[in-house]
Amino acid sequence: QFVPVMCKSQILIIIIITLKGRKEAQGVRKRGARAWVQSFEEIPHTGKYGWVNLMKFWRQGYFRQLHKHMEGTFNALGPIYREHVGTQKTVNIILPSDIAELFQSEGRLPQRMTLKPWATHREIRQHSKGIFLKNGEEWRSDRVLLNKEVLMSSAVQRFIPLLDEVARDFCKMLQKKVEREGIGQKGKRSLTVDPSPDLFRFALEAICNVLYGERIGLFSSSPSLESQKFIWAVEQMLATTPPLLYLPHQLLLHIGASLWTQHATAWDNIFSHADARIQKCYRRLSSFQGQGSKAEAAGGQYPGVLGQLMEKGQLSLDLIKANITELMAGGVDTTAVPLQFAFFELGRNPEVQEKVRQQVRTSWALADGDPLVALQGAPLLRGIIKEVLRLYPVGITVNRMPVKDIILQNYRVPAGTTVSVCLYPMGRSSDVFDDPMRFDPGRWSSGKGGQRISGFRSLAFGFGARQCVGRRIAENEMQLLLMHVSDSRHEKVETRRRIISSTVISNSPLQVKGLQSFTLVKVADINMLQ
C-alpha cells in the first residue's frame, strides 16, 4: 500500500533486499555473516545412515585413505560437514576461524573424544588410564603434575642433554655403517639404506632416555629383539585403531573378532615391554633411597621423567605406569615418521637445505656447545618440523567436544558434539596457506620475510590445555637430529630418484653426503599421506 508514494529507486532497493533474502533462505551465505543461523541438521553431510556409510568406507578403502576422503569431501561440501559412520558421529572443520571458535568453547576442562578401543583394553586388563583417556577433574589433576615434568621450560632444560646425546650417537652410528658397508674410496664412500628402521630405533632410544634416564642400546650392532617387538606392536596398534573407532568393539570383543584380538594383543605387548622398563628403572632408583634425592644419588644426572614422578610421589605408581606407557607408545611414530618426510623434502629442496645448514653453523658457533642455545638460534629447524607436519601430519585430526552451543559457518553445533579439525586437508588448503604445496619452512618465521601466519594453523600437537603432553620432547628430539645432520662438514641430502603414487611414496633414495655419505631409500608406506 506504500508503493505508490515511493520513487523507482526505493522500489529497486526493496526488490534487491528481497532477492538477497531468498538466496540466504536457500542456504547461500556470506562467510562470517551471523544474522541468520541454520540448524545442526542443515550442515552438509555424507549420508544419514551410519551403517550404510560404514559399508561404503569398507568397500572404498577409506580407512586406509581417510585423509584423502576428508580432503575430497571438503572440496565437495565446503568448509564444514557432518559424518556418521558406524557408531561414530562428527562435525569436521578446516578453517582457522572455526578452530578458534572451537578453542574458545572448550572451557576449563576440555573434553576430547575417548578412544573407546583403547579405554576398553584398559578396563578388561584392569590397567589404570593415563591422561589421554581421561576427561574432567581427574584429567586436570594428573595433567597439571605431568606438565611440570615434560612441558615446562625447566623440564625441557633437563631433558635436552639426553636427547642431544642420542642424536649425536645416531649420526655416529650411521657414519660407522657407511665406513663399514659403503662403496667407493675412503672418505667418499656412499651407502644405500632404508631409513625407516634406523629412525624408529632412534625415536625409541630417545624417548626411553628421557622417560627412564638411561639408554637401552638400540644403536648397537645387535639391538634388542624385545625393542623391535615393541615397535611392531605400536605399528599394529595404530593400524587397527581407525576401523575399531567406527565399529561396536564390545561386540567384536564378545565374538572374538580377529581385528579386536590383534588390537588387544598389540596393547598387551606394549604394556609388557613398558612394564619391564619401568620395573627395572624402579629397582635402580629405589636403591638410591636414603641417599638424598634420586638425582643426587645418581651422580647429579637427570633420573628421567619416571624418576622425577616417583621422587615427588604425587601420582600413584599405577597412574605413573599408565602415563609413562602412553608416552612411550606415542613417542615412536610421532617423531620417526616426520623425520623421514623431513629428509625427503630436504632432499628435493636443496636451496632450503643450504639455508638451514648455514643457519645451524652460525648458531652452533655462538652457542658455546649448548644444544638448547643452538636450537634457539636456528628457527628454520622449527619451521621444517612445522612444515613437514603441515603436509604430512602423523595424526590427521584433533577433536574437541564443546561445553556450550557454538556457531560454525553459520550452523549451530550443540554442546557435546564431537568436532574434528582435519589436519591433512587444512594443511593443503589454498584458503589457509599461500601456495600450500610448496615446502617453505620460512613461512613460519615471524621475522623479516616471514608470512606472519596467524594462529590455529600449526595443530599437529593439538591446542590449548589438551595439546599433546609430549610435544616438547618430540619437537626438540626432531630438531636436534636435523641440527646434527645439518652441522656435518660435508653432509648433503639429495633426492636422486622419486616415484610417487596417490597412496605411497616408494623407492625414494635420499643421498646424504657427509656421514661420509649415505643414501636413504624407500620413504614408503608412511601413513600414505602423499
Name the 3-class secondary structure at 517.
strand
Binding-site entries:
468
Helices H / strands E in the chain, number of each: 20, 12
**How far is 518 from 494, CA to CA, in rounded Å?**
10
Relative orientation angle of helices 350-367 and 471-487, to the nearest 10 degrees = 100
* Torsion on CA atoms 41, 43, 48, 50, rounded to nearest 10: -110
Name the 3-class secondary structure at 420.
strand
Sheet of 88-93, strands arranged across: 80-85, 88-93, 419-422, 397-400
Relative orientation angle of helices 333-347 and 225-246, to the nearest 10 degrees = 90
CB neighbours of 238 closer than 8 A, spacing ≥ 6? 333
Cell numbers describing residue 29: 551465505
* 383 Cα distance to chain centroid: 15
Position 488, amino acid: S
Position 350, amino acid: P
Identify the CA nearest to 424 among candidates 471, 391, 468.
Answer: 391
Asked if 122 and 129 touch (Cβ cutoff 8 Å), the reply is yes
Q: How are beta strands 510-514 and 516-520 bridged, if at all?
A: antiparallel
Strand partners, 493: 512
User: What CA–CA distances, in Å, run from 157 to 33, 53, 371, 483?
Assistant: 47, 49, 10, 17
Identify the CA nearest to 323 among candidates 122, 109, 157, 477.
Answer: 122
Residue found by looking up cell 623479516 in the block: 448
User: What CA–CA distances, in Å, run from 107 to 403, 408, 471?
Assistant: 6, 17, 22
Q: How are beta strands 510-514 and 88-93 bridged, if at all?
A: unpaired
Name the 3-class secondary structure at 298.
coil
**How far is 457 from 444, CA to CA, in rounded Å?**
10
**How far is 420 from 156, CA to CA, in rounded Å?**
30
Residue found by looking up cell 586388563 in the block: 125
Binding-site entries for heme:
468
Helices marked H in 151-181: 153-181
Asked if 188 and 490 touch (Cβ cutoff 8 Å), the reply is no
- At CA 445, angle to CA 441 and CA 446, rounded to 5? 165
Q: What are phi and psi of 411, to 5 degrees?
A: -115, 140
Asked if 400 and 111 touch (Cβ cutoff 8 Å), the reply is yes
